[in-house]
Amino acid sequence: MFTGVLDTVRNPDLHVGPGNLAGWNQPDRRRKGFHGLHALSRYDMGVRAPDVLVLRKSIDRRIGDLPSVRRLTGATPFSAMAVVRGQSVLYEAYAPDFGPDRPHTLQSISKTTMNLVFGRMVDDGKVVLNRRVRDYVPEIGSGYAEATVQQVLDMDVTNNFNEDYSDPYEVSRLGATVGYGRQEIAMGWRLPPPGEPNFAMRDFLCTLTSDDVTNPGGETQYHSPNTDLLGWIAERAGGRSLRTLLIDIAVAAGVEGMFRVGTDAEGVPIVSGGIFLTARDLCRYGLLFARNGVGVHGECVGSARFIDATRGGRGTRPPPPRQSLRYSNQTNTNGRWIGHGGYGGQYMLADPETGVVVAFFSVLEDDDASDDTYHPEIIAMAEDVVRLVEAG
């Protein structure tokens, strides 16, 4: 019987290389990585909806003629764009290396699922937003224990997590903060350092610390772990698994393809950034917000009251150049539309006033896949589309 040890190498897609980035996220491999991350992450789950929301093409050629649309869809980072209103596809375009049946990583657009989940739970009296996190998750560490659920929803918590994509060190050089790279290990998007065991997301959440969770300035403290903590709170408060809550959302959206979600090693869905959808299915998902949380069969997976409160001017202030927006209940809003961006160049904007949803995928290939001016440009383009459609 064989008792030896065979030669192996660390998985090249997940092994950490230059810039402290996993192989799939290296600048010269990132485009392929973003287009195929659903097949590269270590663990995942998938959902197919039994009934698909029918979308019919009714192309509005004026959208493609908008200078902002031409500029962004003609630029090198572009992957896909779709515009849907009701059940009509008003516009769609794809890069030569992408297509309508291809899933794309949503990155942080995934966070918006928690707006739907908590809206429904607040309406049902299952969660109280001004209660402390420790009331729902007693084992959580000092990084969140004294924060309210509302603080977590609004990215209004101060702790030692540092979401700096240009410097994603596992532990900062100062030895005090925990970098985004540590969360990626829990997400299954990178391997732990040699000799260190793997760890799950909820174990990771419990390691974060804070002397005072209060956010004195009111500026958005954007920490992706907040969203995965919300998934944990939702399970504890509602008595249902996060997996079943996401199944409800996929079914209510009437997605056509696979609603695929990365998980951690224990099978917990990664709601901070783990969802993958086609451009059309992202529009189908965004229509849940345009319909105030109502699904394709009339079921409520979100809350009109919660969405109205989200758009009501509350929340934290993002830093420039997006200071005119608010980060509210796991979404960005200008007081009218609801949206969210994703690392590397993704955005979804849903406008309940017109019922228009704009989905945009792209891949920034600079060192850290981050450009402070890029998301505002996408938002401005999406607003151009909404105004055009509204004008008739």
- Give the pLDDT score at 169: 54
DSSP codes joined into one string, 137-158? -TT--TTTTTSBHHHHHTT---
What's the pLDDT tens digit per position in 185-217? Answer: 999 999 999 999 999 999 999 999 999 999 999
Tell me the average pLDDT across 313-339.
94
- Give the pLDDT score at 43: 96
Instruction: Give whole-number Cα distances, 346 to 76, 110, 189, 190, 253, in Å.
Output: 14, 11, 18, 21, 19
Q: Name the nearest CA neighbour of 186 among 225, 240, 143, 234.
A: 225
Encoded amino acid at 296, one letter: V
154 part of a folded domain = yes
Task: Assess contact for 191 and 21: CB atoms under 8 A.
Answer: no
340 part of a folded domain = yes
93 part of a folded domain = yes
- Give the pLDDT score at 154: 98
- Give the pLDDT score at 126: 97
In the chain, the number of structural domains is 1
4 part of a folded domain = no
Confidence of residue 178 (pLDDT cuts 50, 70, 90): confident
53 part of a folded domain = yes
Tell me the average pLDDT across 40-48.
96
325 part of a folded domain = yes
pTM for the full model? Answer: 0.96
223 part of a folded domain = yes
- The mean predicted confidence, pLDDT, of the chain is 95
3 part of a folded domain = no
- Structural domain boundaries, residue 158: 30-391
> Which CATH number covers residue 95?
3.40.710.10
